[in-house]
Amino acid sequence: MPTITTPAKYRFYQNSWYTHSSFPGVWIHSQGNSDASMGSGSDVRVTNSNRDWRTQVAKGIDASTSYTRSVHTIQPARISAQTSSLGSAPFIHGTNTMVLGYPNFASWTSSADASLQDLALTRLKRKLNTEIGSFNSLSPGVELRELRQLLEGMKYLTTQALNTLIDIKRTRGKSAFKYASNAWLTFNFGVSPLIRDTKEILLAINKFYLRADNKVHITSSAHRDWFSSSKDTGITGAIGAEVRRNTTYHHHLSYKYISGYNLPLKSANNYDIYDHLGLDLKSLVPAFWELTAYSWVVDYFVNVGSYLEDAFTSPPGNAIYVVLNKKYTVNIQSDIYHHASAGYRIDNQTRGMASGTYFEFTRTPIGTALPRIGIRFKTPDEIASFGVTKLLNLASILLK
C-alpha cells in the first residue's frame, strides 16, 4: 500500500522601500521570501492496487480496494500599502508589498458526520427494500385492533363538523380548538398511516408474486453544506503596517455507498411470504417499540426506532461488495489588507483576495455485510426538519 506525502506549500514574498528622517534622500530596501511549507497540512495519496480485479469481478467476487487522496490548492493574494508615521520625528514613510497565502491548513482539514453517514446507509437499505418489494407489516397489523376506535373518531368528526362551525360563533372560537386537535390527531396518527400502510402492504404482496432472481447495483448518498469564518492578525509588514486577514470557508461533506447484491427471491427455499411482509420473530422488537405509548416523542430526539428496526431486520440476499466513499471539500476566500499600527497611517492601499481549496477523498471497502447504524441523539437539523409536526402533535395532545 504505497503512500505519497508532499508538504502543502504557498508562496510568501515581501518587498519594502522606505525612507527615514535620519537618512534624508536615502531609500532603504528590505525584502524576504519563503519557499518552505508555511502550513501544517500535506498532500497525501494512499493507494492499494488489485491486479486481479477483472478476474474477481467476472467470478462475482469482491474486488474493491481502499484509496485516500487529499489535495491543497492555494492562490495567494498580492497586497500593497503606502505607510507614513504620524509624529514629526523620526519621520518614516514608504511602500510595503506582500504576496501572502494561508497560515495553517490544520484549521480546516478533515471532517466527519455520523448522522450524515447513517442517512446514506438508511437510503441504501430503503432502495434495497424497494428492489425486493418487502414491507414490515407487523406494526400496522397489530394496530388494526384500534381500527374500530379510528372509525368511531372519524364518524364523530364528520357528525360534529357542522355543530362545531355553528358553535364557533357562540363561543368566540374556543370550541374550535378541541375539534381541531381531535381532527389533527385522528388524521395524523390514524387515517394517514392507515392509507399509507394499506397501500404498502398491497404493493408488497403484488411484488412477492412477481418476484424473480436478479442481481442489482445500488448506490445512495447524503451530503451537507455549511460555512465558517476566521480572522487572523499579528502578521506585520514593514513600517508598522500590520496585515489582517478575514477568511470564509464553504464546507461540503458527502457520503456515498456503492453496493452489489445477489437476490435469490424466487429460488431461495428459506424466503417466503412471512419474510417478505416482516411477520417473523425478529420483527417483534421494533414492532413493540412502535406500539409503546409516546415512542414518537423519544424518536424526535433519539433514533431509537430507526436503530431497533435496523438492528433486528435484515434484507434477504447476499452482498457481493459494499464500498463507502467519503468526499470533503472546502472552498476558501480570504480578504487580506494592511492595518496601520499605533503611530502610523496608511496613505494608500491595494487590498488582495486570496483563494484556495482543500479536497479530501476516501474509499473504504466495507466487505460483504451491510453495516448497522448506531444509536445516537439526533442533530438540531434533524429535529428541526420535524419541528412543525412535533409542535402540532404536542399541542393537540395538550388540548385533549
For the residues 231-252, what does the mean pLDDT come to? 82
pLDDT of residue 108: 65
Contact 258, 327 (CB under 8 A): no
Instruction: Return d(Cα 68, Cα 178) in angstroms, integer.
Output: 59
Domain that holds residue 332: 3-399
Residue 331 has pLDDT above 70, yes or no: yes
Residue 223 has pLDDT above 90, yes or no: yes
pLDDT of residue 212: 82
Instruction: Return d(Cα 235, Cα 254) in angstroms, integer.
Output: 35
pLDDT of residue 371: 85
pLDDT interval class at 397 (50, 70, 90): very low
For the residues 153-161, what does the mean pLDDT come to? 54
Which of 17-26, 30-39, 201-210 is predicted with the least confidence, judged by mean pLDDT?
A: 30-39
Tell me which DSSP letter residue 283 carries.
G
Please give the single-letter amino acid code of residue 42: S
Instruction: Return d(Cα 374, Cα 136) in angstroms, integer.
Output: 21
pLDDT of residue 117: 92
Give the tens place of pLDDT for each residue, 74-122: 888 889 998 888 876 677 888 888 887 665 555 667 788 988 999 899 8
Alpha-carbon separation of residue 187 from 15, 152, 157 (angstroms): 73, 13, 10
How many structural domains is the chain composed of? Answer: 1
Residue 356 has pLDDT above 70, yes or no: yes
Average pLDDT of the residues of the chain: 76
Most confident of 270-274, 349-353, 392-396: 349-353
pLDDT of residue 220: 94
Which of 96-105, 146-155, 226-235 is predicted with the least confidence, judged by mean pLDDT?
A: 146-155
pLDDT of residue 256: 96
Backbone angles phi, psi at 180, to 5 degrees: -65, -40
Phi-psi region of 278 (alpha: psi -120 to 50; beta: other; left: phi over 0): left
Residue 385 has pLDDT above 60, yes or no: no
Instruction: Return d(Cα 28, Cα 22) in angstroms, integer.
Output: 11
Residue 165 has pLDDT above 70, yes or no: no
pLDDT of residue 396: 46
Give the tens place of pLDDT for each residue, 57-79: 777 777 788 889 988 888 888 89
Give the tens place of pLDDT for each residue, 261-287: 888 888 877 777 777 777 777 777 777
Task: Give yes or no for a cis peptide into 7 (omega within 30° of 0).
Answer: no
pLDDT of residue 43: 81
Which has the closest alpha carbon to 233: 339, 105, 108? 339
Give the tens place of pLDDT for each residue, 168-210: 555 555 555 555 555 655 556 555 666 677 777 777 777 777 7
pTM of the model as a whole? 0.75
